[in-house]
Amino acid sequence: MLLHKIFSTGIYLTVRMDISKVFAQIKMGMGKALIRKKKRAGRYIQWILGGVSVLFVIVCYQSMAFTKNAPAMSQILNYLKEETAVSAWRNCMPVMLREEEGSQLTLEHFLQSKLEEFYPIYAFSGTLTEYSTQIESDLTCGMLEENKQESQKEQQEQEEEKEKEAKQHKKPEKKKQSEEKQEVAAKDSAAKTETGKAVEISREKLNDFDYLVQNFYQIDRTTTVDRSELNAQEMLAKDMTLKTGSDQVQILIYHTHSQEGYADSAPGDPNSSVVALGERLTQLLRDQYGFHVMHHMGQYDVKDRDNAYSYSGPALEQILAENPSIEVVIDLHRDGVPETTHLVSEVNGKQTAQIMFFNGLSRTTANGDIAYLANPNRADNLAFSFQMKLAAEEYYPGFARATYLKGYRYNLHYRAKSLLVEVGAQTNTLEEAMNAMEPLADILHKVLSP
C-alpha cells in the first residue's frame, strides 16, 4: 500500500512537471511571436511614415515651384545629379591631383575650377537674360580704379622724363624746373583757351584695340566684341551732327524704367525720379543750346519691370512715326550698385553723379548673333556712345564711367543716334543726379552740333 502511494505520487509529480514545462514553452513561444509581430509592425510604421514624408516634400516643392518660390522637381533632380558628381569627384581627387603634379596648377585653383564646373548655379547663371546692373557696376568700378592708377603712373613717368631732360641741358635744377612749370602752365592755359579741353587723349593710342577696351569699355561676360566693331578711327569718322533744323523735333528723351529713384526720392513721385532728370535735361538742351526736344513721360515698368522694353517699344514706334524728324533718342536710367558704392565726381565745384553709356550688341557668347533682336544701327550706336564718352573724358575727366557692352538690344535699334544713359545709382542723392545734367547737356551739344 505504501509503495502504491509512493508510485502514484511520483507519477503525479512527473506529469505535473511535464505539463508546467509545456505551458512554459507555450507561453515563451507566444511571447516571441508577439515580439516578432511588434517588430514587424514597427517596421511597417517606419516605412509608412517615410513614404508620407517623401510625398509631403514632393508636394511642398511642387507647390513652391508653381508659385515661383522654389525650384521644380526637374531642378531638384539635376541638383542631386550634381551632388553625385561632386561626391564622385571627391573620391577620385587624390588621383586627379597626382595627374596634375607636372603642371603649375595649385590646389586652390584646381578646387576652384572644379567647383565652378560642378556647382549648379554656375551653369544656370549663363542662361539669365535680364539686365543686372549691380554686377555691371561692380565690374566697372573696379576697372575705373585700375585706369586711375595707370593714369597716375603715366603722369609720374612724364615728370621723371622732364627732370632728366633738364639735367642733360646742364641748367640749374631749380631754374629749369621753374621754367618747365611756367612752360607747362602756359601750354595748358593756351590749350584750354583754344579747345576748352581739360585733357587731350592721343588718337594714336585709341587705335590700339587693347588700350581702347581697357580704358573705355566694360564687356559683359554674356557677349563678345572684336576690333572690327570697336575701331576708334572708324567710329570717330562717323558724322553725328544733327541734320534737322530746330523748327522740328530733333531729340526724344524717354524712360523705360520711369520708377527708378535716388537715396532721397519719394517712391512713385516723378518729381524726384529719373523723370525729373529728363525734364532738367530737356530744359538745358532747349534753353541753353537751342535744340528742339520732346520729353516723353510714359510709364512702362509700374506693374512689370522685366518686360518694360517690350512695352515701351510700340510707344516709341508711334512717336517716331508721328515725328520722323527725330534723330536722337535718349533712354535715361538710374543704375543699381552695392550700398557701399557711391558714384560721384566733382564737376565745376559740384558733387555730381557719374554717368555710364550702355550698348547692346544683339549677340551672346553662347549663341552668337540673335536674329530676332537684329539691330541695323549697331555700328552707329557704338560710334555715338564712343564720341560721347571721349568728349566726357576730355572735357570732364572722371564724369563718365566705362561704357558697358551687353548681349541684347534695349530698343537702341530705332535710330542711329540712340543712347542709353545710366545716371548715378540708388546711393546718389537727387541733387547729385540733377547736377549731372549740365555736363551731359554740354557733351551732347559738342557731339551733335555742326
pLDDT of residue 48: 85
- pLDDT of 203 higher than 90: yes
- Determine which helix (DSSP H) or strand (DSSP E) holds 210, and give its type and residue range: helix 209-216
Nine-digit cell at 133? 546692373
Residue 267 pLDDT grade (very low, low, confident, very high; cuts 50, 70, 90): very high
For residue 349, pLDDT over 90 is answered with yes
Quick check: 124 pLDDT over 50?
no
pLDDT > 90 fraction of the chain, expressed in percent and rounded: 55
**pLDDT-based confidence at residue 71 (cuts at 50, 70, 90):** low
The average pLDDT across 168-187 equals 50
pTM exceeding the 0.85 threshold for the entire prediction = no
Closest Cα partner for 428 from 350, 305, 337?
Answer: 337
**315, pLDDT greater than 90:** yes
Question: pLDDT band at 166, cuts 50/70/90?
Answer: low
Structure confidence at residue 144 (pLDDT): 46
pLDDT, position 82: 63
In this prediction, residue 51 carries a pLDDT of: 79
Least confident of 169-178, 287-296, 365-374: 169-178
What pLDDT does 277 receive?
A: 98
- Mean pLDDT to the nearest integer, 313-334: 97
pLDDT at residue 171, rounded to an integer: 47
The pLDDT assigned to 406 comes to 96
pLDDT in tens, 16-31: 555 555 455 555 656 5
How high is the pLDDT of residue 133? 40
| Separation between Cα atoms, residue 198 and residue 114, nearest integer Å | 49
Separation between Cα atoms, residue 418 and residue 290, nearest integer Å? 20
| C-alpha to C-alpha distance for 342 and 425, rounded to whole angstroms | 8
State phi, psi for 222 to the nearest 5 degrees: -80, -5
pLDDT digits (tens, 9 = 90+) for 352-406: 999 999 999 999 999 999 999 999 999 999 999 999 999 999 999 999 999 999 9
351 pLDDT higher than 90 = yes
Confidence at residue 128, expressed as pLDDT on a 0 to 100 scale: 37
**Residue 167: is its pLDDT beyond 90?**
no
In this predicted structure, the answer to whether residue 178 has a pLDDT above a threshold of 60 is no
| Separation between Cα atoms, residue 259 and residue 257, nearest integer Å | 6
Of 77-91, 166-180, 271-285, the range with the highest mean pLDDT is 271-285
Residues sharing a CB contact under 8 Å with residue 252, sequence separation 6 or more, in sequence order: 293, 294, 296, 316, 319, 320, 323, 326, 328, 329, 330
In the block, cell 553625385 appears at 84
- Mean pLDDT to the nearest integer, 125-139: 39
Q: How confident is the model at residue 88 (pLDDT cuts 50, 70, 90)?
A: low
Average pLDDT over residues 93-120: 50
Question: Left, alpha or beta for 331 (phi > 0: left; psi -120 to 50: alpha)?
Answer: beta
Please tell me the predicted confidence (pLDDT) of residue 185. Answer: 47
Burial classification of residue 323, based on how many CB atoms lie within 10 Å of its CB (0-12 exposed, 13-18 middle, 19 or more buried): middle
